Amino acid sequence: MKLTTFPRVRITHGPTPLEFMPRLTEALGGPNLYIKRDDCTGLGTGGNKTRKLEFLMGEADALGADTIITQGATQSNHARQTVAIAAKMGMACDILLEDRTGFTSEAYKHSGNVFLDQLYGARVKEYPGGTDMNAAMEVRAAELRAQGRKPYIIPGGGSNALGALGYVVCALEMVDQFNHLGLDVHEVVHATGSAGTQAGLVAGLEGTRSGISVLGIGVRAAQAAQEQNVYNLAVKTADLLGVPGAVSRESVKANCDYVGAGYGLPTPGMVEAVTMLARLEGILLDPVYSGKGMAGLIDLCRKGHYQKGQNVVFVHTGGAVALYGYTDTFKDLTPL
């Protein structure tokens, strides 16, 4: 497993902290709950896309790109982190945003990540839900090439095998932290969407035969499709890393019971999880990913899925900036 052969822009503030959550652990009365703070990766308020972008932007730079094109939902954390790194590297950035929720509030359309995309200097263009966003990126790339520019397309979520290497790095970093602390970790849990995070974690933890399992909590697709997407990408990632065959189908597990009505649509469990983490641990989750991921972990703890004394690590993938796009969802908050 040799990561040093890939061009890489070192921008992550790492290793990110691994913290115990004593009050959440006590409130749930189940396993010992830890949190890997990948909301603290540093770039443009942080998040999981930063680790992927280290490798993706490394390639873009090596190819001489001058413009980055990527896509996501209106409140995309990936888009915000991409335009931040493009700005830092002196590249232009085209952000294509798909309306996946139909929300029309001023906050959702213009605050949170959308505001930061504009602050970082992106050209932002909106597309209706259901648009073929990959085709739209190709159209934009052709326009730019015709103008003599050198565009580089980053897929939604930065999720291809190259981007997933960022989460192989995170897997190795966590194993090192666990060993340093003498922490016997049973499972790593996180929100899974475009699959790159889980694919990288599985490739890293299986490729090193760490004995630590990964559970993705889905935010969009149904379980069968989500697991297949993650598995396909994890296999490609292991191939790219030079450890073909490292990933078994059984090592890819997703629980998609916490999506609710659809991607980006609030659920009561998400609101509870975001509020609990804020009030018990002072940690800000996000409404689209880590809030639903944590809602899943909280529910599994309540159902006795884990044993008392087991150590479970939640990877906080960031996204709290999107809370500003969802203030309506939290309008009924009462003081403690």
Ligand X SMILES: *Cc1c(COP(=O)(O)O)cnc(C)c1O
> Where in the sequence numbering do the catalytic residues fall?
76
Residue with tokens 């913290």: 19
69 binds ligand X (CB under 6 A): no
Helix 290-302 and helix 268-281: axis angle, to 10°? 90
48 binds ligand X (CB under 6 A): yes
> Which residue among 82, 210, 290, 329 contacts ligand X (CB under 6 A)?
290
CB of 146 to ligand X, least distance (A): 31
Tell me if residue 324 falls in helix, strand or coil: helix
Residue closest to 34 by CA, chosen among 282, 313, 310 = 313
Kindly tell me which of 92 and 202 has the beta carbon lying closer to ligand X. Answer: 202
321 binds ligand X (CB under 6 A): no
Part of the chain binding ligand X (CB under 6 A), chosen from 123-131, 134-142, 258-266, 312-320: 312-320
Q: For residues 230-289, which are near ligand X according to CB under 6 A?
A: 286, 289
**In the chain, at which residue ranges do the beta strands (DSSP E only) sit?**
18-20, 32-37, 67-73, 92-98, 123-127, 151-153, 185-192, 213-218, 253-255, 311-316
Kindly tell me which of 144 and 174 has the beta carbon lying closer to ligand X. Answer: 174
CB of 106 to ligand X, least distance (A): 22
155 binds ligand X (CB under 6 A): no
CB of 198 to ligand X, least distance (A): 6
CB of 294 to ligand X, least distance (A): 11
218 binds ligand X (CB under 6 A): no
Kindly tell me which of 81 and 210 has the beta carbon lying closer to ligand X. Answer: 81
Kindly tell me which of 172 and 323 has the beta carbon lying closer to ligand X. Answer: 323
Rounded to whole angstroms, what are the CA distances from 135 to 57, 69, 124, 212, 326?
21, 12, 16, 38, 29
Burial class (CB in 10 A: 0-12, 13-18, 19+), 42: middle
| Backbone torsion region of residue 166, taken as left when φ is above 0, otherwise alpha when ψ lies between -120 and 50, otherwise beta | alpha
78 binds ligand X (CB under 6 A): yes
16 binds ligand X (CB under 6 A): no
- The gap from C-alpha 232 to its chain's centroid, in whole angstroms, comes to 18
CB of 80 to ligand X, least distance (A): 9
Q: How far apart are CA 169 and CA 159, in angstroms?
A: 15
Counting residues that bind ligand X (by CB under 6 A) gives 20
Q: Taking a C-beta distance cutoff of 8 angstroms, is the pair 86, 9 a contact?
A: no
Q: Is-cis flag, bond preceding 22, omega within 30?
A: no
Kindly tell me which of 116 and 144 has the beta carbon lying closer to ligand X. Answer: 116
Residue with tokens 């602050």: 119
Q: For residues 164-203, which are near ligand X according to CB under 6 A?
A: 191-198
Q: What is the contact surface with ligand X in residues (CB under 6 A)?
A: 47-48, 77-78, 157, 159, 191-198, 286, 289-290, 317-319
